[in-house]
Amino acid sequence: MHIALLIIGGLLIYYFIYHIVKNAVRDGVNEARKMSYTDENYKKNRHRISQKICPKCGKTYDIDYPKCPHCGNR
């Protein structure tokens, strides 16, 4: 009798954990799909280098520059 209750309890726990994880993964995938580029945005921005903003002058420049080309701030 005790073994049957343990098995049933284990199956219930497995069932609930399985569905919690499955729903969390599904929600994460749906959220990632919402945030992904549309084809038009991807084609327009695929060759652009990421930019960062200089804290001193506030202008943007390519992230691979060692310092701001506008004011020389590092």
**15-62 tens-digit pLDDT:** 999 999 999 999 988 887 776 656 666 666 666 778 889 999 999 898
CA distance 5 to 25: 30
pLDDT at position 71 is 93
What's the farthest any 2 CA atoms get from each other in the chain? Answer: 79
User: 71: which residues sit within 8 A by CB, 6+ positions away?
Assistant: 54, 56, 57, 59
pLDDT of residue 38: 60
Give the H/E segment covering residue 62: strand 60-62
Provide the token pair at 19. Answer: 């569905």
pLDDT over 80 (residue 2): yes
